[in-house]
Structure 1
Amino acid sequence: MDLIQLAVPVLLKGLWVTAALTLISVLIGFNLGLGLALMRLSANRLLSGFAKYYSNIFRGTPLLVQIFLFYYGLGEVSLIRDNALLWWIISDGSRCAVLALALNTAAYTSEILRGGLMSVPVGLVEAGQACGMSRMLRFRRIEFPLAIRQALPAYGNELILVVKGTSLASTITVLEITGYAKRLMSQTFAIFEIFAIAGILYLVINLLLIATIRLLERFLMRHETQSRQGLSAPRPQGSAAVL
Protein backbone atom coordinates (compact mmCIF):
# COMPACT_ATOMS: atom_id res chain seq x y z
CA MET A 1 0.00 0.00 0.00
CA ASP A 2 2.84 2.36 0.85
CA LEU A 3 4.43 1.59 -2.49
CA ILE A 4 1.23 2.50 -4.34
CA GLN A 5 0.97 5.78 -2.45
CA LEU A 6 4.57 6.51 -3.40
CA ALA A 7 4.40 5.41 -7.04
CA VAL A 8 1.05 6.71 -8.25
CA PRO A 9 1.67 10.47 -7.72
CA VAL A 10 5.08 10.18 -9.39
CA LEU A 11 3.76 8.22 -12.36
CA LEU A 12 0.89 10.69 -12.77
CA LYS A 13 3.53 13.35 -13.45
CA GLY A 14 4.67 11.23 -16.36
CA LEU A 15 1.07 10.76 -17.48
CA TRP A 16 0.82 14.41 -18.49
CA VAL A 17 4.07 14.17 -20.43
CA THR A 18 2.83 11.06 -22.20
CA ALA A 19 -0.43 12.82 -23.08
CA ALA A 20 1.43 15.87 -24.39
CA LEU A 21 3.80 13.75 -26.50
CA THR A 22 0.85 11.86 -27.97
CA LEU A 23 -1.28 14.91 -28.70
CA ILE A 24 1.45 16.98 -30.37
CA SER A 25 2.77 14.02 -32.35
CA VAL A 26 -0.72 13.08 -33.60
CA LEU A 27 -1.57 16.64 -34.60
CA ILE A 28 1.61 16.99 -36.62
CA GLY A 29 1.52 13.45 -37.95
CA PHE A 30 -2.10 13.58 -39.11
CA ASN A 31 -1.63 16.74 -41.15
CA LEU A 32 1.65 15.51 -42.60
CA GLY A 33 0.11 12.09 -43.30
CA LEU A 34 -2.84 13.68 -45.10
CA GLY A 35 -0.45 15.64 -47.29
CA LEU A 36 1.55 12.49 -48.03
CA ALA A 37 -1.63 10.57 -48.89
CA LEU A 38 -2.63 13.25 -51.40
CA MET A 39 0.90 13.21 -52.83
CA ARG A 40 0.73 9.43 -53.16
CA LEU A 41 -2.50 9.70 -55.17
CA SER A 42 -1.13 12.52 -57.31
CA ALA A 43 -0.50 12.02 -61.01
CA ASN A 44 2.89 13.67 -60.53
CA ARG A 45 5.39 10.81 -60.39
CA LEU A 46 7.90 12.85 -58.39
CA LEU A 47 5.41 13.63 -55.62
CA SER A 48 4.00 10.12 -55.66
CA GLY A 49 7.45 8.56 -55.54
CA PHE A 50 8.58 10.75 -52.64
CA ALA A 51 5.51 9.85 -50.58
CA LYS A 52 5.95 6.16 -51.39
CA TYR A 53 9.60 6.00 -50.35
CA TYR A 54 8.97 8.11 -47.26
CA SER A 55 6.29 5.66 -46.15
CA ASN A 56 8.46 2.63 -46.88
CA ILE A 57 11.44 4.00 -44.95
CA PHE A 58 9.58 5.00 -41.80
CA ARG A 59 7.32 1.93 -41.76
CA GLY A 60 10.22 -0.39 -42.52
CA THR A 61 12.52 0.69 -39.69
CA PRO A 62 11.93 0.42 -35.91
CA LEU A 63 10.74 3.52 -34.08
CA LEU A 64 13.49 3.08 -31.49
CA VAL A 65 16.15 3.24 -34.20
CA GLN A 66 14.56 6.41 -35.59
CA ILE A 67 14.56 8.03 -32.14
CA PHE A 68 18.24 7.19 -31.65
CA LEU A 69 19.14 8.50 -35.10
CA PHE A 70 17.36 11.80 -34.46
CA TYR A 71 18.65 12.30 -30.92
CA TYR A 72 22.19 10.93 -31.13
CA GLY A 73 22.92 10.91 -34.86
CA LEU A 74 21.73 14.30 -36.10
CA GLY A 75 23.70 16.09 -33.41
CA GLU A 76 26.89 14.92 -35.12
CA VAL A 77 26.03 16.77 -38.33
CA SER A 78 27.74 20.16 -38.40
CA LEU A 79 25.03 21.68 -40.63
CA ILE A 80 22.43 20.97 -37.97
CA ARG A 81 24.64 22.15 -35.10
CA ASP A 82 25.19 25.45 -36.90
CA ASN A 83 21.46 25.99 -37.53
CA ALA A 84 19.81 27.49 -34.44
CA LEU A 85 16.32 26.16 -35.20
CA LEU A 86 17.38 22.62 -36.06
CA TRP A 87 19.69 22.45 -33.07
CA TRP A 88 16.87 23.70 -30.81
CA ILE A 89 14.68 20.82 -32.00
CA ILE A 90 17.13 17.95 -31.56
CA SER A 91 18.94 19.25 -28.49
CA ASP A 92 15.99 18.43 -26.23
CA GLY A 93 14.77 14.88 -25.66
CA SER A 94 11.08 15.77 -25.59
CA ARG A 95 11.19 17.75 -28.84
CA CYS A 96 13.25 15.03 -30.49
CA ALA A 97 10.77 12.38 -29.36
CA VAL A 98 7.88 14.42 -30.78
CA LEU A 99 9.75 14.74 -34.08
CA ALA A 100 10.39 11.00 -34.33
CA LEU A 101 6.86 10.04 -33.28
CA ALA A 102 5.25 12.56 -35.64
CA LEU A 103 7.28 11.51 -38.68
CA ASN A 104 6.71 7.84 -37.89
CA THR A 105 2.95 8.10 -37.42
CA ALA A 106 2.72 10.29 -40.54
CA ALA A 107 3.95 7.35 -42.62
CA TYR A 108 1.28 4.99 -41.25
CA THR A 109 -1.40 7.68 -41.36
CA SER A 110 -0.67 8.36 -45.03
CA GLU A 111 -1.34 4.73 -45.93
CA ILE A 112 -4.51 4.63 -43.83
CA LEU A 113 -5.88 7.82 -45.37
CA ARG A 114 -4.82 6.75 -48.85
CA GLY A 115 -6.92 3.62 -48.48
CA GLY A 116 -9.84 5.70 -47.26
CA LEU A 117 -9.57 8.14 -50.17
CA MET A 118 -9.36 5.31 -52.68
CA SER A 119 -12.58 3.81 -51.27
CA VAL A 120 -14.63 6.92 -52.14
CA PRO A 121 -16.99 6.05 -55.03
CA VAL A 122 -15.94 7.71 -58.27
CA GLY A 123 -19.57 8.48 -59.10
CA LEU A 124 -19.89 10.79 -56.09
CA VAL A 125 -16.81 12.72 -57.09
CA GLU A 126 -18.06 13.03 -60.66
CA ALA A 127 -21.46 14.17 -59.38
CA GLY A 128 -19.80 16.92 -57.37
CA GLN A 129 -17.79 17.93 -60.39
CA ALA A 130 -20.94 18.04 -62.51
CA CYS A 131 -22.53 20.36 -59.92
CA GLY A 132 -19.71 22.83 -60.46
CA MET A 133 -17.80 22.15 -57.23
CA SER A 134 -14.14 23.10 -57.22
CA ARG A 135 -11.55 20.44 -56.46
CA MET A 136 -11.00 21.77 -52.94
CA LEU A 137 -14.74 21.94 -52.27
CA ARG A 138 -15.23 18.37 -53.50
CA PHE A 139 -12.44 17.21 -51.24
CA ARG A 140 -13.81 19.05 -48.21
CA ARG A 141 -17.47 18.05 -48.63
CA ILE A 142 -17.33 14.66 -50.34
CA GLU A 143 -13.97 12.90 -50.42
CA PHE A 144 -12.50 13.65 -46.99
CA PRO A 145 -15.69 13.00 -44.91
CA LEU A 146 -16.26 9.64 -46.64
CA ALA A 147 -12.58 8.70 -46.45
CA ILE A 148 -12.30 9.44 -42.74
CA ARG A 149 -15.31 7.23 -42.03
CA GLN A 150 -13.61 4.31 -43.73
CA ALA A 151 -10.19 5.04 -42.21
CA LEU A 152 -11.30 5.73 -38.62
CA PRO A 153 -11.11 2.13 -37.26
CA ALA A 154 -7.60 1.64 -38.63
CA TYR A 155 -6.54 5.11 -37.54
CA GLY A 156 -7.80 4.36 -34.03
CA ASN A 157 -5.34 1.46 -33.89
CA GLU A 158 -2.57 3.81 -35.01
CA LEU A 159 -3.39 6.22 -32.18
CA ILE A 160 -3.03 3.39 -29.68
CA LEU A 161 0.36 2.52 -31.15
CA VAL A 162 1.45 6.14 -30.79
CA VAL A 163 0.51 6.09 -27.09
CA LYS A 164 2.54 2.94 -26.55
CA GLY A 165 5.36 4.33 -28.69
CA THR A 166 5.79 7.26 -26.30
CA SER A 167 7.32 4.81 -23.82
CA LEU A 168 10.42 4.70 -26.04
CA ALA A 169 11.02 8.38 -25.27
CA SER A 170 12.36 7.24 -21.90
CA THR A 171 15.45 5.95 -23.73
CA ILE A 172 16.48 9.54 -24.50
CA THR A 173 16.01 10.88 -20.95
CA VAL A 174 12.36 11.95 -21.30
CA LEU A 175 10.51 11.48 -18.02
CA GLU A 176 7.13 10.20 -19.13
CA ILE A 177 5.35 7.23 -17.53
CA THR A 178 8.04 4.70 -18.36
CA GLY A 179 10.81 7.16 -17.53
CA TYR A 180 9.44 7.76 -14.04
CA ALA A 181 8.83 4.02 -13.64
CA LYS A 182 12.51 3.34 -14.35
CA ARG A 183 13.53 5.96 -11.78
CA LEU A 184 11.20 4.48 -9.15
CA MET A 185 12.44 0.99 -9.94
CA SER A 186 16.04 2.01 -9.25
CA GLN A 187 14.96 3.59 -5.95
CA THR A 188 12.62 0.89 -4.63
CA PHE A 189 13.74 -2.25 -6.55
CA ALA A 190 10.04 -3.16 -6.80
CA ILE A 191 10.21 -3.99 -10.50
CA PHE A 192 6.95 -5.88 -10.90
CA GLU A 193 4.80 -3.56 -8.81
CA ILE A 194 6.08 -0.33 -10.39
CA PHE A 195 5.71 -1.49 -13.97
CA ALA A 196 2.34 -3.09 -13.23
CA ILE A 197 1.06 0.31 -12.13
CA ALA A 198 2.62 1.92 -15.21
CA GLY A 199 0.95 -0.68 -17.41
CA ILE A 200 -2.42 0.06 -15.82
CA LEU A 201 -1.98 3.76 -16.62
CA TYR A 202 -1.26 2.95 -20.28
CA LEU A 203 -4.28 0.64 -20.31
CA VAL A 204 -6.56 3.36 -18.93
CA ILE A 205 -5.34 5.85 -21.54
CA ASN A 206 -5.93 3.40 -24.38
CA LEU A 207 -9.35 2.33 -23.10
CA LEU A 208 -10.44 5.97 -22.99
CA LEU A 209 -9.04 6.43 -26.48
CA ILE A 210 -10.89 3.37 -27.78
CA ALA A 211 -14.15 4.61 -26.25
CA THR A 212 -13.66 8.04 -27.85
CA ILE A 213 -12.97 6.50 -31.26
CA ARG A 214 -16.10 4.35 -31.01
CA LEU A 215 -18.25 7.34 -30.08
CA LEU A 216 -16.82 9.30 -33.00
CA GLU A 217 -17.41 6.36 -35.32
CA ARG A 218 -21.05 6.12 -34.22
CA PHE A 219 -21.47 9.85 -34.73
CA LEU A 220 -20.07 9.72 -38.26
CA MET A 221 -22.16 6.66 -39.14
CA ARG A 222 -25.38 7.90 -37.54
CA HIS A 223 -27.11 8.53 -40.88
CA GLU A 224 -26.48 5.00 -42.13
CA THR A 225 -27.66 3.57 -38.81
CA GLN A 226 -30.88 5.57 -39.02
CA SER A 227 -31.40 4.44 -42.61
CA ARG A 228 -30.99 0.78 -41.68
CA GLN A 229 -33.37 1.17 -38.77
CA GLY A 230 -35.92 2.81 -41.06
CA LEU A 231 -35.70 -0.02 -43.59
CA SER A 232 -36.01 -2.69 -40.92
CA ALA A 233 -38.95 -1.04 -39.13
CA PRO A 234 -42.19 -3.12 -39.29
CA ARG A 235 -45.02 -1.87 -41.43
CA PRO A 236 -47.86 -0.22 -39.54
CA GLN A 237 -50.84 -2.45 -38.89
CA GLY A 238 -53.96 -1.24 -40.61
CA SER A 239 -56.50 -2.09 -43.22
CA ALA A 240 -55.44 -4.32 -46.07
CA ALA A 241 -54.19 -2.66 -49.22
CA VAL A 242 -56.73 -2.35 -51.97
CA LEU A 243 -55.60 -4.19 -55.07
Structure 2
Amino acid sequence: MSWDWSVILKYLPRLLEGTWLTLELVAISGLIGIALAVPLALMRVSRSPWVRAFPFAYIFFFRGTPLLVQIFLIYYGASQFEAVKQSVFWEVLKQPYWCAIIAFSMNTAAYSAELIRGAIQAIPKGEIEAAEALGMSRPLQVRRIVLPRAFGIVLPAYGNELILMLKGSSLASTITLLDLTGMARTIIARTYTPLEIFLAAGVIYLLISGVFIGCFRLLEKRLNRYQHYKHQVPAELTKIDPRLQD
Protein backbone atom coordinates (compact mmCIF):
# COMPACT_ATOMS: atom_id res chain seq x y z
CA MET A 1 0.00 0.00 0.00
CA SER A 2 1.46 3.35 -1.06
CA TRP A 3 0.50 6.81 0.06
CA ASP A 4 0.56 9.70 -2.36
CA TRP A 5 0.73 12.74 -0.08
CA SER A 6 1.56 15.07 -2.95
CA VAL A 7 -2.02 14.81 -4.20
CA ILE A 8 -3.22 16.58 -1.04
CA LEU A 9 -0.95 19.56 -1.65
CA LYS A 10 -1.89 19.61 -5.32
CA TYR A 11 -5.64 19.66 -4.72
CA LEU A 12 -5.67 21.56 -1.42
CA PRO A 13 -6.86 24.81 -3.12
CA ARG A 14 -9.83 22.90 -4.54
CA LEU A 15 -10.63 21.45 -1.12
CA LEU A 16 -10.47 24.93 0.40
CA GLU A 17 -12.84 26.14 -2.31
CA GLY A 18 -15.30 23.47 -1.24
CA THR A 19 -14.68 24.40 2.40
CA TRP A 20 -15.78 27.96 1.71
CA LEU A 21 -19.07 26.71 0.26
CA THR A 22 -19.56 24.47 3.31
CA LEU A 23 -19.03 27.40 5.68
CA GLU A 24 -21.40 29.51 3.60
CA LEU A 25 -24.13 26.88 3.78
CA VAL A 26 -23.70 26.45 7.54
CA ALA A 27 -23.58 30.19 8.28
CA ILE A 28 -26.64 31.14 6.22
CA SER A 29 -28.65 28.11 7.36
CA GLY A 30 -27.69 28.73 10.97
CA LEU A 31 -28.85 32.35 10.88
CA ILE A 32 -32.14 31.51 9.18
CA GLY A 33 -32.62 28.51 11.45
CA ILE A 34 -32.18 30.44 14.70
CA ALA A 35 -34.50 33.17 13.39
CA LEU A 36 -37.18 30.52 12.82
CA ALA A 37 -36.41 28.66 16.04
CA VAL A 38 -37.12 31.57 18.40
CA PRO A 39 -40.79 32.08 17.46
CA LEU A 40 -41.28 28.30 17.25
CA ALA A 41 -39.90 27.90 20.77
CA LEU A 42 -42.09 30.72 22.12
CA MET A 43 -45.12 29.07 20.52
CA ARG A 44 -44.11 25.73 22.07
CA VAL A 45 -44.26 27.19 25.59
CA SER A 46 -47.59 28.92 24.98
CA ARG A 47 -50.46 28.05 27.30
CA SER A 48 -52.81 27.59 24.37
CA PRO A 49 -52.86 24.06 22.87
CA TRP A 50 -53.88 25.55 19.50
CA VAL A 51 -50.76 27.69 19.42
CA ARG A 52 -48.57 24.72 20.41
CA ALA A 53 -50.02 22.46 17.73
CA PHE A 54 -48.18 23.86 14.68
CA PRO A 55 -44.67 23.99 16.18
CA PHE A 56 -45.17 20.52 17.67
CA ALA A 57 -46.08 19.07 14.25
CA TYR A 58 -43.25 20.97 12.55
CA ILE A 59 -40.62 19.82 15.06
CA PHE A 60 -41.96 16.26 15.08
CA PHE A 61 -41.63 15.99 11.30
CA PHE A 62 -38.17 17.50 10.90
CA ARG A 63 -36.70 15.69 13.91
CA GLY A 64 -38.36 12.39 12.95
CA THR A 65 -37.21 12.21 9.31
CA PRO A 66 -33.65 11.99 7.93
CA LEU A 67 -32.06 15.17 6.65
CA LEU A 68 -31.29 13.46 3.35
CA VAL A 69 -34.98 12.72 2.81
CA GLN A 70 -35.82 16.37 3.53
CA ILE A 71 -33.24 17.56 0.99
CA PHE A 72 -34.64 15.21 -1.66
CA LEU A 73 -38.23 16.25 -0.90
CA ILE A 74 -37.36 19.90 -1.47
CA TYR A 75 -34.99 19.47 -4.42
CA TYR A 76 -36.74 16.68 -6.33
CA GLY A 77 -40.23 16.85 -4.85
CA ALA A 78 -40.94 20.50 -5.68
CA SER A 79 -40.40 19.88 -9.39
CA GLN A 80 -43.26 17.34 -9.42
CA PHE A 81 -45.85 20.10 -9.05
CA GLU A 82 -46.66 22.20 -12.07
CA ALA A 83 -48.05 24.95 -9.83
CA VAL A 84 -44.62 25.28 -8.22
CA LYS A 85 -42.91 25.49 -11.61
CA GLN A 86 -45.25 28.28 -12.65
CA SER A 87 -44.82 30.23 -9.42
CA VAL A 88 -42.22 32.84 -8.48
CA PHE A 89 -40.67 30.33 -6.08
CA TRP A 90 -39.39 28.17 -8.93
CA GLU A 91 -36.45 30.51 -9.54
CA VAL A 92 -35.26 29.56 -6.06
CA LEU A 93 -36.38 25.93 -5.85
CA LYS A 94 -34.74 24.92 -9.12
CA GLN A 95 -31.30 25.80 -7.76
CA PRO A 96 -29.59 23.14 -5.61
CA TYR A 97 -27.82 25.81 -3.56
CA TRP A 98 -31.03 27.34 -2.27
CA CYS A 99 -32.72 23.96 -1.86
CA ALA A 100 -29.87 22.90 0.42
CA ILE A 101 -30.14 26.12 2.43
CA ILE A 102 -33.91 25.70 2.81
CA ALA A 103 -33.53 22.08 3.95
CA PHE A 104 -30.70 22.84 6.38
CA SER A 105 -32.49 25.90 7.77
CA MET A 106 -35.78 24.11 8.39
CA ASN A 107 -34.00 21.11 9.91
CA THR A 108 -31.82 23.06 12.31
CA ALA A 109 -34.77 25.31 13.20
CA ALA A 110 -36.63 22.28 14.52
CA TYR A 111 -33.74 21.08 16.69
CA SER A 112 -32.86 24.59 17.87
CA ALA A 113 -36.48 25.33 18.76
CA GLU A 114 -36.55 22.34 21.10
CA LEU A 115 -33.29 23.43 22.69
CA ILE A 116 -34.59 26.96 23.25
CA ARG A 117 -37.91 25.62 24.53
CA GLY A 118 -36.07 23.56 27.14
CA ALA A 119 -33.93 26.56 28.08
CA ILE A 120 -36.99 28.78 28.51
CA GLN A 121 -38.61 26.24 30.80
CA ALA A 122 -35.37 25.98 32.78
CA ILE A 123 -35.44 29.67 33.72
CA PRO A 124 -36.20 29.99 37.46
CA LYS A 125 -39.80 31.04 37.99
CA GLY A 126 -38.68 33.61 40.52
CA GLU A 127 -37.07 35.69 37.77
CA ILE A 128 -40.31 35.78 35.80
CA GLU A 129 -42.28 36.62 38.94
CA ALA A 130 -39.86 39.44 39.72
CA ALA A 131 -40.36 40.85 36.22
CA GLU A 132 -44.14 40.66 36.69
CA ALA A 133 -43.83 42.39 40.06
CA LEU A 134 -42.00 45.24 38.32
CA GLY A 135 -44.95 45.62 35.97
CA MET A 136 -43.24 44.31 32.82
CA SER A 137 -45.55 43.32 30.00
CA ARG A 138 -45.18 39.85 28.51
CA PRO A 139 -43.34 41.07 25.35
CA LEU A 140 -40.97 43.08 27.53
CA GLN A 141 -40.34 40.03 29.74
CA VAL A 142 -39.52 37.97 26.65
CA ARG A 143 -37.13 40.59 25.30
CA ARG A 144 -35.32 41.48 28.53
CA ILE A 145 -35.56 38.36 30.69
CA VAL A 146 -36.64 35.22 28.86
CA LEU A 147 -34.59 35.29 25.66
CA PRO A 148 -31.30 36.57 27.17
CA ARG A 149 -31.44 33.95 29.92
CA ALA A 150 -32.52 31.23 27.49
CA PHE A 151 -29.65 31.96 25.09
CA GLY A 152 -27.17 31.78 27.97
CA ILE A 153 -28.54 28.40 29.02
CA VAL A 154 -28.84 26.94 25.52
CA LEU A 155 -25.49 28.08 24.15
CA PRO A 156 -23.45 24.91 24.88
CA ALA A 157 -26.14 22.68 23.36
CA TYR A 158 -26.56 25.00 20.38
CA GLY A 159 -22.82 24.79 19.74
CA ASN A 160 -23.22 21.02 19.44
CA GLU A 161 -26.16 21.51 17.09
CA LEU A 162 -24.07 23.77 14.86
CA ILE A 163 -21.33 21.15 14.68
CA LEU A 164 -23.91 18.50 13.79
CA MET A 165 -25.17 20.80 11.05
CA LEU A 166 -21.59 21.22 9.80
CA LYS A 167 -21.29 17.46 9.45
CA GLY A 168 -24.78 17.19 7.97
CA SER A 169 -23.86 19.77 5.33
CA SER A 170 -21.87 17.03 3.58
CA LEU A 171 -25.24 15.80 2.25
CA ALA A 172 -25.34 18.86 0.00
CA SER A 173 -23.05 16.92 -2.33
CA THR A 174 -25.97 14.56 -3.10
CA ILE A 175 -27.68 17.34 -5.07
CA THR A 176 -24.60 18.26 -7.15
CA LEU A 177 -23.20 20.95 -4.84
CA LEU A 178 -19.40 20.97 -4.63
CA ASP A 179 -19.04 21.57 -0.93
CA LEU A 180 -16.06 20.07 0.90
CA THR A 181 -17.36 16.51 0.60
CA GLY A 182 -18.58 17.03 -2.96
CA MET A 183 -15.23 18.49 -4.00
CA ALA A 184 -13.41 15.60 -2.34
CA ARG A 185 -15.50 13.07 -4.25
CA THR A 186 -14.83 14.91 -7.50
CA ILE A 187 -11.07 14.88 -6.87
CA ILE A 188 -11.15 11.18 -5.96
CA ALA A 189 -12.93 10.38 -9.22
CA ARG A 190 -9.96 11.92 -11.05
CA THR A 191 -7.05 10.76 -8.91
CA TYR A 192 -8.25 7.44 -7.41
CA THR A 193 -6.78 8.42 -4.04
CA PRO A 194 -9.75 8.13 -1.65
CA LEU A 195 -7.70 7.63 1.50
CA GLU A 196 -5.55 10.72 1.08
CA ILE A 197 -8.34 13.06 -0.06
CA PHE A 198 -10.94 11.94 2.47
CA LEU A 199 -8.30 12.15 5.21
CA ALA A 200 -7.54 15.74 4.18
CA ALA A 201 -11.26 16.56 4.09
CA GLY A 202 -11.72 14.99 7.55
CA VAL A 203 -8.89 17.08 8.98
CA ILE A 204 -10.48 20.24 7.55
CA TYR A 205 -13.85 19.34 9.12
CA LEU A 206 -12.04 18.69 12.40
CA LEU A 207 -10.30 22.08 12.32
CA ILE A 208 -13.57 23.88 11.58
CA SER A 209 -15.25 22.05 14.47
CA GLY A 210 -12.41 23.07 16.77
CA VAL A 211 -12.83 26.72 15.80
CA PHE A 212 -16.58 26.50 16.40
CA ILE A 213 -16.06 24.94 19.83
CA GLY A 214 -13.56 27.63 20.82
CA CYS A 215 -15.81 30.46 19.66
CA PHE A 216 -18.84 29.10 21.49
CA ARG A 217 -16.87 28.65 24.70
CA LEU A 218 -15.77 32.27 24.56
CA LEU A 219 -19.32 33.40 23.82
CA GLU A 220 -20.69 31.23 26.62
CA LYS A 221 -18.17 32.67 29.06
CA ARG A 222 -19.19 36.19 28.05
CA LEU A 223 -22.96 35.63 28.21
CA ASN A 224 -22.77 33.75 31.52
CA ARG A 225 -20.07 35.87 33.14
CA TYR A 226 -22.51 36.95 35.85
CA GLN A 227 -22.39 33.41 37.27
CA HIS A 228 -18.77 33.90 38.28
CA TYR A 229 -19.72 36.82 40.51
CA LYS A 230 -23.17 36.00 41.84
CA HIS A 231 -21.77 34.29 44.95
CA GLN A 232 -19.25 37.01 45.70
CA VAL A 233 -20.12 39.47 48.44
CA PRO A 234 -18.80 43.05 48.38
CA ALA A 235 -15.87 43.64 50.75
CA GLU A 236 -17.80 46.39 52.53
CA LEU A 237 -20.46 43.90 53.64
CA THR A 238 -17.93 41.33 54.84
CA LYS A 239 -16.42 43.95 57.11
CA ILE A 240 -19.82 44.46 58.70
CA ASP A 241 -20.50 40.73 59.06
CA PRO A 242 -17.58 38.32 58.46
CA ARG A 243 -20.04 35.43 58.20
CA LEU A 244 -20.98 36.66 54.70
CA GLN A 245 -17.61 35.41 53.43
CA ASP A 246 -18.96 31.88 53.68
TM norm structure 2: 0.91
Superposed displacement of residue 45, structure 1? 2.1
> Sequence identity of aligned pairs in percent?
45
Tell me, in whole angstroms, the C-alpha distance in 2 between the residues paired with 1:223 and 1:49: 36
In structure 2, do the counterparts of structure 1 residues 120 and 227 end up closer, same or farther at CA, with 3 Å as the change threshold? closer
Q: 2:61 matched to 1:57?
A: yes
Superposed displacement of residue 76, structure 1? 0.7
Superposed displacement of residue 134, structure 1? 2.0
Q: 2:43 matched to 1:39?
A: yes
Tell me, in whole angstroms, the C-alpha distance in 2 between the residues paired with 1:227 and 1:59: 37
Superposed displacement of residue 53, structure 1? 0.9
Poorly superposed stretches of 4+, deviation over 3 Å: none
Q: 2:229 matched to 1:226?
A: yes
In the alignment of these two chains, the number of paired residues is 234
In structure 2, do the counterparts of structure 1 residues 40 and 227 end up closer, same or farther at CA, with 3 Å as the change threshold? closer
The counterpart of 1:104, out of the listed 104, 107, 112, is 107
Alignment of 1:75-114 (within 5 A): 75-84=79-88, 86-114=89-117
Could you report, residue by residue, the CA deviation over 1:156-184 in whole angstroms, capped at 9, with x for unpaired residues? 11000111111000000011101100110
Paired residue for 2:13?
9
Q: 2:66 matched to 1:68?
A: no
The counterpart of 2:218, out of the listed 215, 220, 231, is 215
RMSD over equivalenced CA pairs, Å: 1.9
Tell me, in whole angstroms, the C-alpha distance in 2 between the residues paired with 1:42 and 1:224: 28
Q: 2:117 matched to 1:125?
A: no
The counterpart of 2:28, out of the listed 12, 24, 29, is 24
Paired residue for 2:170?
167
Letter in 2 for 1:5: L
Counterpart secondary structure, 1:31: helix
In structure 2, do the counterparts of structure 1 residues 227 and 122 end up closer, same or farther at CA, with 3 Å as the change threshold? closer
Could you report, residue by residue, the CA deviation over 1:91-135 in whole angstroms, capped at 9, with x for unpaired residues? 111100000000000100110000000011222112112212222
Q: 2:209 matched to 1:198?
A: no
Tell me, in whole angstroms, the C-alpha distance in 2 between the residues paired with 1:114 and 1:162: 19
Could you report, residue by residue, the CA deviation over 1:43-88 in whole angstroms, capped at 9, with x for unpaired residues? 232220111011010000000011011101111111211102x212
In structure 2, do the counterparts of structure 1 residues 47 and 227 end up closer, same or farther at CA, with 3 Å as the change threshold? closer
Letter in 2 for 1:186: A
Gaps of 5+ in 2: none
Tell me, in whole angstroms, the C-alpha distance in 2 between the residues paired with 1:160 and 1:88: 30
Superposed displacement of residue 227, structure 1? 3.4
The counterpart of 2:157, out of the listed 141, 154, 158, is 154
Superposed displacement of residue 221, structure 1? 1.8
Could you report, residue by residue, the CA deviation over 1:189-228 in whole angstroms, capped at 9, with x for unpaired residues? 0001000000111111110000011111111221211334
Superposed displacement of residue 146, structure 1? 1.1
Tell me, in whole angstroms, the C-alpha distance in 1 between the residues paired with 2:53 and 2:226: 38
Letter in 2 for 1:131: L
